[in-house]
């Protein structure tokens, strides 16, 4: 570690740092809690390595959701009501005292050999009991094929950031398979009904069923069940609670034929898929299935108290079943199995309807609101849901878009105002981006809401974040994050959006394209030229602070976003040249567009998190044989391109999960635009209208043969970011 960093840490720790040095011999002689046991200590060791041996974690206890980090006998002692709460205290120490940062996207843990003691005790308390994390769609858009190595770190990071309720859906496929074997279905029928993993979230939401490319194997079901159990066990070990899928009536085709007396309501279609049928929750058959579901679920995944389910999600039909009575039937099935259970339901569009929340025991329901920061019309969730407990939530990301930004101004204003309102039913926070592992500043800030009293000063927060993110105060780093605070992270719900605008390189080619995903913002929500200043500042951060994955992550994200934003100013110029029949200008501008895409792909290729090849390789690794490995690769590729069926793509699902990844930008996306420009140029030369392209067929052919996809990063992020800056300066 540079001498300057050591001196700075000593100064920040104050007189306590002297005690740490003076007690070095004694500290070395004491056994560490990381060595002697304890879930928090083991997590700290996984996250910090040998430096964690200088920390002592007391057995969990004390006031609920409260931590304390203080000097004790020349060592650092961490107390708290649970391992996860203790880890939240550790994160506070890392940020405030040693200026370190561990996130789900990049980290900086350049720690001194001897950790400084805090000059004063650091204490914190969560102002809300529920700190929920992970969207229903997370497994599909973040990575249905992640292994235990991924999940072990992810759970440690979530605990470190103070979350205490984690949605766990891995292995639900094996659960449904086991349950319905007892209701007249064969092994083969059920394996053909269950979608491949990347599409399973929408099966669990009752939107679709059936794999696109063949049945899931018994080996895959067993492996996912083992992973789900391991995740749930670790969540409990860390003092958090697993939130498991609940049963609300999904049944395979032909259920009534095999179970006489069952009342089943057809659910129609969803974006080209046949929705699973819905078993009337009022009947004895529902009670039997629910009892079997919860019994087998506990065998597979262990005990739980919170269960996530969304009745009649996105267009589901109640048919002749009264919604309120259906809700009571669902609640009865849950509470018969788990008397103290909490039904967790998503606040989304018209969900949950008042008919549901007015029918059930509100003390046993939690609404995780996905729209708290989206619409100005949302002002009183207490009234909307009749006093049902709810969590303030944000979906800053749809489909896994690689867009930077969030409505942080709304978070800082609305959360404390809604929490402190007399009689408020706000009981938590809910971090709900449709895909995780992106937007690390938003992740960090949102996680702190529950642990912050009073108002949040965003200018001070982003300055402190820049210091911890890179290890020391650097004027250019602080300036970069101030630019980002005012641009990508300075948007508000005033324009009725919660996410940033995606880039046009990932759009289906059109001279009139305004977004890549159908339901994304149609314009940039901040000034692109102002945003680009952040790239220059980041590149000027002093060399000693550029070595961390945190710095490289941020540099790539900002350079990628700045380059992507140029697509929005360049495309209108291409259109103008085409409409003016300026062939030379059209050729030059199209060449610029394609060269920007090539540069973007090269930048993305420097980071393993931005490699499409890694995504596909992870999917293949789960296959039981060559045929299944190929099917799973297609599953992973389709979710980020056409999504699913032709009719679904035509209805708007195509490119819903577009993202700027190496292999996508330089592969499918560039091929599409090159083909489109070529046809426009030919039409221009021949004085005819351009021919129409079947983009679904184009994309599907590429999915079947994407060519070689790199699985290892190449090149220097810094060097490519310099090239991006220089290219942008050319105009």
Going from N- to C-terminal start, the domains of the chain cover 3-125, 134-453, 499-524+544-729
Question: How many other CB atoms sit within 10 Å of the CB of residue 475?
Answer: 12
Q: What is the pLDDT of residue 315?
A: 85
Please state, in angstroms and rounded to a whole number, the distance separating the CA atoms of residues 94 and 380. Answer: 37
pTM value is 0.94
Tell me the helix, strand and coil percentages in the chain, rounded to 5: 50, 10, 40
Please state, in angstroms and rounded to a whole number, the distance separating the CA atoms of residues 47 and 122. Answer: 20
Long-range interactions of 459-462: CB distance < 8 A, separation 24+: 459/485, 462/489
Query: Does residue 542 sit in helix, strand or coil?
Result: coil
Pairing state between β 269-270 and 273-274? antiparallel
Whether 307 contacts 172, CB under 8 Å: no
Please state, in angstroms and rounded to a whole number, the distance separating the CA atoms of residues 410 and 445. Answer: 12
> Where does residue 660 fall: left (phi above 0), alpha (psi -120 to 50 degrees), or beta otherwise?
beta
Whether the bond into 352 is cis, omega within 30 of 0: yes
| Residue segments in the chain with a per-residue pLDDT below the cut of 70 | 1-37, 212-213
Q: What is the CATH number of domain 134-453?
A: 3.20.20.80
Encode pLDDT of 575-594 as tens digits: 999 999 999 999 999 999 99
Q: Which residue has the tokens 């009947």?
A: 283
CA 241 remoteness from chain centre: 18
Please state, in angstroms and rounded to a whole number, the distance separating the CA atoms of residues 497 and 526. Answer: 12
Please state, in angstroms and rounded to a whole number, the distance separating the CA atoms of residues 521 and 506. Answer: 14
> Where does residue 680 fall: left (phi above 0), alpha (psi -120 to 50 degrees), or beta otherwise?
alpha
Indicate the class that CATH gives domain 499-524+544-729.
mainly alpha
CATH ID of 3-125, from 3.40.50.980, 3.30.379.10, 3.30.428.10, 3.40.50.280: 3.30.379.10
- Which tokens belong to 682? 């030919």
Count CA within 13 A, CB hemisphere, residue 344. 30
């Amino acid at each position: 570690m540079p001498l300057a960093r050591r001196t700075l840490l000593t100064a920040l720790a104050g007189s306590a740092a002297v005690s740490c040095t003076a007690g070095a011999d004694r500290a070395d002689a004491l056994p560490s809690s990381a060595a002697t046991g304890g879930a928090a200590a083991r997590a700290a060791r996984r996250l910090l390595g040998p430096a964690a041996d200088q920390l002592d974690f007391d057995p969990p206890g004390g006031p609920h959701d409260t931590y304390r980090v203080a000097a004790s006998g020349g060592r650092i002692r961490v107390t708290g009501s649970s391992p996860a709460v203790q880890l939240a205290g550790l994160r506070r120490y890392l940020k405030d005292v040693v200026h370190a940062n561990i996130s789900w996207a990049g980290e900086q843990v350049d720690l001194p050999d001897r950790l400084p003691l805090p000059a004063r005790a650091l204490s914190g308390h969560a102002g809300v009991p529920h700190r929920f994390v992970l969207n229903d769609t997370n497994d599909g858009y973040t990575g249905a094929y992640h292994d235990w190595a991924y999940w072990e770190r992810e759970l440690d990071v979530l605990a470190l950031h103070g979350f205490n309720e984690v949605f766990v859906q891995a292995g639900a496929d094996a659960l449904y398979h086991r349950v319905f074997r007892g209701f007249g279905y064969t092994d083969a029928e059920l394996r053909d009904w269950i979608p491949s993993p990347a599409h399973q979230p929408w099966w669990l939401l009752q939107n679709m069923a059936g794999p696109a490319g063949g049945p899931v194997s018994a080996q895959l079901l067993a492996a996912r069940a083992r992973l789900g159990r391991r995740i749930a066990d670790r969540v409990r070990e860390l003092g958090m609670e697993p939130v498991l899928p609940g049963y609300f009536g999904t049944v395979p085709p032909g259920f009534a034929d095999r179970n006489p007396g069952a009342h089943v309501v057809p659910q129609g279609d969803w974006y080209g898929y046949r929705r699973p049928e819905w078993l009337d929750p009022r009947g004895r058959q529902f009670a039997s299935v629910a009892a079997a579901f919860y019994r087998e679920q506990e065998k597979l995944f262990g005990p739980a108290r919170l269960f996530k389910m969304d009745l009649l999600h996105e267009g589901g039909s109640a048919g002749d079943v009264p919604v309120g009575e259906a809700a009571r039937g669902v609640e009865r099935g849950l509470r018969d199995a788990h008397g103290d259970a909490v039904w967790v339901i998503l606040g989304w569009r018209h969900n949950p309807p008042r008919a549901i929340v007015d029918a059930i025991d509100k003390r046993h329901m939690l609404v995780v609101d996905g729209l708290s920061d989206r619409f100005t019309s949302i002002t009183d969730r207490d009234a909307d849901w009749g006093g049902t407990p709810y969590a303030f939530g944000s979906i800053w990301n749809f489909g896994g878009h690689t867009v930077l930004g969030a409505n942080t101004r709304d978070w800082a204003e609305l959360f404390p105002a809604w929490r402190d309102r007399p009689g408020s039913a706000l009981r938590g926070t809910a971090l709900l981006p449709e895909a995780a592992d992106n937007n690390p500043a938003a992740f960090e800030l949102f996680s702190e809401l529950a642990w912050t009293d009073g108002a949040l000063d965003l200018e001070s927060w982003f300055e402190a974040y820049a210091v911890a993110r890179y290890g020391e105060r650097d004027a250019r780093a602080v300036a970069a994050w101030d630019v980002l605070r005012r641009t990508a992270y300075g948007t508000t719900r005033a324009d009725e959006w919660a996410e940033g605008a995606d880039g046009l390189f990932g759009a289906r080619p059109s001279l009139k394209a305004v977004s890549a995903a159908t339901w994304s913002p149609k314009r940039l929500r901040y000034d692109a030229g102002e945003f680009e200043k952040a790239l220059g500042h980041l590149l000027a951060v002093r060399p000693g602070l550029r070595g961390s994955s945190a710095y490289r992550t941020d540099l790539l994200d900002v350079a990628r976003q700045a380059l992507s934003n140029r697509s929005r100013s360049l495309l209108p110029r291409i259109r103008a040249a085409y409409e003016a029949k300026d062939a030379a200008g059209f050729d030059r501008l199209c060449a610029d567009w394609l060269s920007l895409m090539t540069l973007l792909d090269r930048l993305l290729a420097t980071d393993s998190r931005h490699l499409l090849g890694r995504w596909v390789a992870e999917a293949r690794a789960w296959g039981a044989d060559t045929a299944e490995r190929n099917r799973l690769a297609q599953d992973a590729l389709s979710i980020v391109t056409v999504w699913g069926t032709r009719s679904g793509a035509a209805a708007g699902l195509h490119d819903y999960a577009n993202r700027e990844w190496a292999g996508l930008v330089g592969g499918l996306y560039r091929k599409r635009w090159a083909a489109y420009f070529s046809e426009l140029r030919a039409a221009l030369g021949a004085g005819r209208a351009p021919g129409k392209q079947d983009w679904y067929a184009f994309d599907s052919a590429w999915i079947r043969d994407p060519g070689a996809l790199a699985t290892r990063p190449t090149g220097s992020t810094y060097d490519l970011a310099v090239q991006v800056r220089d290219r942008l300066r050319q105009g």
